[in-house]
Amino acid sequence: MGLLSDPNRRRALTTLLTRLNTPLCVVCYLAGVAWFMGLAFQPFTLRTYMSENAMGSTMVEEHFPAGERALAMGREFSAHKKQAGGMPVDWLVKAMQAKGLEVFTQSFSRTLPFPDENKERYMVRGTNVYGILRAPRAPRTESLVFSAPCSPQGNDQAVGLLLGLAQYFRGQIYWAKDIIFLVNEHDLIGMQAWLEGYHHTNSTGMSWTPLHGRGGSIQAALTLELSSDVITSLDLVLEGLNGQLPNLDLANLFYAFCQKINVLCTIQGKLQRNDWDSVAGYSHAVQTMLLMVLKQASGRPWGDHGLFLRYHVEAATIRGINSFRQYKTDATTVGRLIEGMYRKLNNLLERLHQSYFFYLLPSLSHFVSIGYYMPAFGLLILIPLLRALDLWVQLEGAAPAAVDGLVDGEQPSSPGFLSVMTPVVISHLTGVALYTLPVLAQQAAVEHFPVSETEAVVLTAIAIYTAGLALPHNTHRVLSGQGTEEGWRVLKLVAVLYMAVLLACTALINFSLGFILALTLVPVAAFITPHVPRIPSALAMVLLSPACTLLFSVFVYQELQETPVSLLDGWSLFLSVISQGILDHNLYGSLVYPLISLLVYPCWLLLWNILFWK
């Protein structure tokens, strides 16, 4: 007889499973965490290399001469910006036309769902200015984008360098693609409006004027943020919306040119170290990787480039940093680096597709590909599956026992469909409330409480979240059948499977978010039963809930950035992160807030229900 259909063998397997379940879960969890930490260890990573044949090596001669003139233009831009009190549209249009580009503008406006206290804006109205450098001999089928955001203070040198490079590029004849020089206002909102106008989509409810000039399908894009005349290092920012990353070849290209031109390059703001075999070197790599994981998990675009990725355009942001270091790099060198990168991107024949799209970078020269980091998550996801099997076995064991048992006294009633579905439905309704109410009810909250709109939204969200903790006591009044042994087992089976599927799907799209949620939710799912001591496990569950995970992540992120915060500052940062999450979802379509509120939070509530089953 087959292995699973033979009752004797089956019983042996199931007893083995039941006996070894807890140790196996613990081993899997520790193995998953250890695997993840081991990813940053240099011998386990691979050196980065250029995969695209057409881009080849850094074999170009960079001739950009006009760094000082670019800085002068930046100062002019800053003066006109102060005068105009925003984007100096007319001056910029005239300047770009003088350089020989085809200049167009786009105006856009958006009313945010509630005021953004970080950037101090509510009703946003602005103009994007972009100039197209047409390829001298090529058909207008492909283009590259170079953008610099126009912010109220700072970033003038970037716009100056953009204009300087535009003038230099215009004098060359080897461009095979159009180059679009974009200066966007109100950073991400302006960029979203431009991209929507360029690709003829409208997914976020922004209103913008249509674009009059287009350049062909965009192959790659770079955003420059430069706020000082000289820099000491260049930082590369890769994480985009919903944790999407550009093709690794773009990072490889940047790193190759940094090495050729001898500019200090960093990622996550951290310099590379050579001593990978020492504890300090390893912890440095772990910190860099953890920063990338946290940034990717937040699902927000960390530079203006983050919105390009959704349209399958490989994009990255280069940020100039001026710290207290001896060796300074001037604007001409930065211009040469960008010129070299654009000459290499010009050689592309098709979109960047040869290198990895899913990776983690413990440093700029080493990477971890999806094949290496996914097993860490796989080990964690094994735990809910093991638990599900265990519960299934227990349920099977209980049913025949009920049949064989003598019918005397109370008959253990099989859990009704309603008693399982009710917690599920109520949890999801709470999730829906958490998703919709904060923004909808902000007016009512402002009338009744002395808080601003942003605070109202965030505090409503936290209030609904905490109110969900009181649910089990209320649902029990609704339920007719009281808590039975089988009832909670069925509910836990459903919850555990639901969580496994949810986390697996999340990890496929955004590995970091899935991994961080799994780290905290999987132990909860594994060990929650009605029989564990109530108060300590309730406390543990609250500490491992998504909101507290977010709070801890904020503190960990600040620690890793080497700017640790006090508890009060951390709390206010946590509140602003929640408001940013809701805003990102409304403005750019970030999926983290709906995921947490509509799917992860109800899942956690189901487990909370199980804890208070009796």
Question: CB-wise, 19 or 140, nearer to another protein?
Answer: 140
Question: CB-wise, 215 or 468, nearer to another protein?
Answer: 215
Q: What is the rounded (10 degree) CA torsion for 23, 29, 34, 40? A: 170
Least separation in angstroms between CB 247 and another protein:
18
Q: Does 54 bind another protein (CB under 8 A)?
A: yes
Q: What is the rounded (10 degree) CA torsion for 116, 121, 126, 128? A: -50
| Beta-strand runs (E) in 141-245 | 142-150, 178-185, 207-208, 217-225, 233-237
CA-angle at 111, arms to 109 and 114, nearest 5°: 155
Find out whether 613 and 490 touch, Cβ atoms under 8 Å.
no
Give 14: exposed, middle or buried? Use CB within 10 Å, 0-12, 13-18, 19+.
Answer: middle
Least separation in angstroms between CB 54 and another protein:
5
Question: CB-wise, 58 or 317, nearer to another protein?
Answer: 58
Q: Does 96 bind another protein (CB under 8 A)?
A: no
Least separation in angstroms between CB 7 and another protein:
32
Binding part of the chain for another protein, among 3-11, 93-101, 172-180, 427-435 by CB under 8 A, reads 172-180
Tell me the CA end-to-end span of the chain in Å, nearest whole number: 42
Least separation in angstroms between CB 63 and another protein:
9
Question: CB-wise, 342 or 608, nearer to another protein?
Answer: 342
Applying CB under 8 A, the site for another protein has a residue count of: 21
Q: How many whole angstroms separate alpha carbon 582 and alpha carbon 595?
A: 11
Question: CB-wise, 176 or 395, nearer to another protein?
Answer: 176
Site for another protein in 568-607 (CB under 8 A): none
Q: Does 404 bind another protein (CB under 8 A)?
A: no
Among 1, 4, 123, 173, binds another protein (CB under 8 A): 173
What 3-state class would DSSP assign to 328? Answer: coil
Question: CB-wise, 50 or 71, nearer to another protein?
Answer: 50
Strands 178-185 and 46-47: unpaired
Least separation in angstroms between CB 349 and another protein:
6
The H or E element that residue 497 is part of is helix 485-509
Q: Does 262 bind another protein (CB under 8 A)?
A: no
Q: Does 138 bind another protein (CB under 8 A)?
A: yes
Binding part of the chain for another protein, among 131-139, 151-159, 270-278, 560-568 by CB under 8 A, reads 131-139
Residue type, 611: L
Among 2, 61, 409, 566, binds another protein (CB under 8 A): 61
Least separation in angstroms between CB 234 and another protein:
22
Q: Which residues contact 473 (CB under 8 A, 6 or more apart)?
A: 612
Strands 314-321 and 233-237: antiparallel
Core vs surface per residue 549-586: b (16+ CB within 10 A) or e = bbbbbbbebbebeeeebeeeebeebbbbbbbbbbbbbb
The H or E element that residue 602 is part of is helix 601-611
Least separation in angstroms between CB 70 and another protein:
23
Find out whether 285 and 42 touch, Cβ atoms under 8 Å.
yes
Least separation in angstroms between CB 347 and another protein:
6
Looking at 347-410, list the stretches that DSSP marks H as alpha helix, in order from N- to C-terminal side.
370-404
Angle, helices 511-527 vs 370-404, to 10°: value is 30
Question: CB-wise, 64 or 175, nearer to another protein?
Answer: 175
Among 12, 16, 30, 59, binds another protein (CB under 8 A): 59
Find how far residue 8's CA is from the centre of its chain: 49
Question: CB-wise, 349 or 425, nearer to another protein?
Answer: 349
Among 44, 174, 327, 449, binds another protein (CB under 8 A): 174
Name which of 215, 211, 213 is nearest 200 in CA terms. Answer: 211
Least separation in angstroms between CB 62 and another protein:
9
Among 135, 161, 226, 253, binds another protein (CB under 8 A): 135
Among 22, 107, 109, 172, binds another protein (CB under 8 A): 172
Find how far residue 212's CA is from the centre of its chain: 32
Q: Does 49 bind another protein (CB under 8 A)?
A: no
Binding mask 318-357 vs another protein (x if CB under 8 A, - otherwise)? -------------------------xx-xx-x--------
Question: CB-wise, 174 or 449, nearer to another protein?
Answer: 174
The footprint of another protein (CB under 8 A) covers 53-54, 56-57, 59-61, 135-138, 172-176, 343-344, 346-347, 349
